[in-house]
């Protein structure tokens, strides 16, 4: 069985002033998980309205302002600029920092955020080699990490995500609910009809579409985190959790942890 190494840092992409609205959540998460925090900005010369030199200066000052926040007092905080297309430089950064969780903030502001939620987000998910924690628009500063739902598709990576979720929550008492969803077509019609739904505190088995079913389970169980793999293998139709991660990145109303199979490695 594959194990996931506990992350050793948290890297937060802040590309717009609106992203700072999620800074309280990021700070609380870093403090609870006992991880150093890197505040990052991606400067894309092709989409920026500023001269490249000026764009870097403005971005660095914005990061320095964020780093001066009282919310980050006592944390190990660094700032880091990336230059280039987000679809390219974020996977490169993840590869160079394999034990860092990359936190992405969603929203409707600007090209960068739209790329994360659209085609760009798809590419980022496919290329990443370390976990990402996606914060949806409208998320407040409250940190509720007592409960988590985990998408399960019988792939090796989905079996080990619970270890990572527990380590990030810094709680052995984290209440985990594993959710296994059977889609029409996953199995023969008679088997699909005969499946007995299960709705236990730690395990849900149901029929439906994975993305909507996981989000519904998260809302019903009032969890603080949804966790899925990005390359899980479905029973019949190929990559199951990959498409689920993409759907949830556009519809989830709570933090989403996406764990790529390529980022799994043996624990020390």
Q: What pLDDT digit, counting tens, does each position of 63-94 carry?
A: 999 999 999 999 999 999 999 988 888 888 98
Give the pLDDT of residue 266.
32
pLDDT band for 46, please (50, 70, 90 cuts): confident
Separation CA 205–CA 203 (nearest Å): 7
- Chain-centre distance of CA 174, in angstroms? 18
Question: What one-character DSSP code corresponds to residue 200?
Answer: E
Separation CA 82–CA 13 (nearest Å): 10
Which distant-in-sequence residues (6+ apart) come within 8 Å of 1 by Cβ? 156, 159, 160
Separation CA 57–CA 241 (nearest Å): 39
pLDDT band for 251, please (50, 70, 90 cuts): confident
165-174 CB burial, b ≥16 within 10 A, e <16: bbbbbeeeeb
CA distances from 224 to 2, 16, 25, 67 (A): 25, 24, 12, 25
Give the pLDDT of residue 261.
66
Q: Which domains, ranges and CATH numbers included, belong to the chain?
A: 9-135 (3.40.50.620), 147-263 (3.40.50.620)
**When comparing pLDDT for 230 and 150, which is higher?**
150
Question: What one-character DSSP code corresponds to residue 141?
Answer: S
Give the pLDDT of residue 207.
94
| Of 53-57, 101-105, 138-142, minimum mean pLDDT range | 138-142
Measured N-to-C along each axis, helices 156-169 and 23-33 cross at an angle, to the nearest 10 degrees, of 90
* Predicted confidence (pLDDT) per residue in 156-209, tens digit: 676 678 777 777 776 667 788 999 999 888 889 999 999 999 999 999 999 999
Q: For the whole model, what pTM was predicted?
A: 0.83
């Amino acid at each position: 069985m594959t194990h996931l190494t506990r992350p050793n840092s948290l890297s937060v992409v802040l590309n717009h002033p609106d992203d700072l609205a999620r800074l309280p959540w990021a700070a609380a998460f870093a403090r609870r998980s006992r991880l150093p925090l890197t505040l990052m900005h991606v400067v894309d010369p092709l989409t920026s309205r500023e001269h490249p030199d000026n764009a870097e200066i403005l971005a660095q000052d914005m990061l320095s302002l964020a780093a001066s926040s009282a919310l980050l007092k006592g944390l190990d905080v660094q700032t880091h600029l990336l230059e280039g297309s987000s679809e390219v430089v974020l996977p490169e950064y993840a590869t160079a920092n394999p034990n860092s969780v990359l936190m992405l903030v969603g929203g409707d502001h600007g090209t960068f955020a739209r790329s994360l939620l659209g085609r760009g987000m798809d590419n980022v998910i496919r290329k990443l080699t370390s976990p990402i924690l996606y914060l949806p628009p409208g998320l407040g500063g409250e940190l509720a990490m007592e409960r988590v739902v985990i998408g399960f598709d019988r792939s090796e990576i989905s079996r080990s995500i619970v270890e990572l979720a527990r380590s990030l929550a810094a709680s052995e008492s984290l209440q985990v609910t594993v959710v296994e969803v059977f889609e029409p077509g996953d199995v023969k019609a008679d088997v699909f009809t005969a499946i007995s739904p299960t709705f236990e505190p730690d395990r849900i088995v149901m029929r439906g579409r994975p993305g909507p079913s996981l989000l519904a389970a998260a809302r019903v169980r009032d969890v603080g985190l949804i966790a899925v793999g990005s390359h899980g293998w479905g029973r019949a139709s190929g990559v199951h959790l990959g498409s689920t991660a993409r759907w949830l990145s556009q519809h989830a109303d709570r933090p989403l942890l996406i764990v790529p199979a390529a980022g799994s490695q043996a624990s020390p």
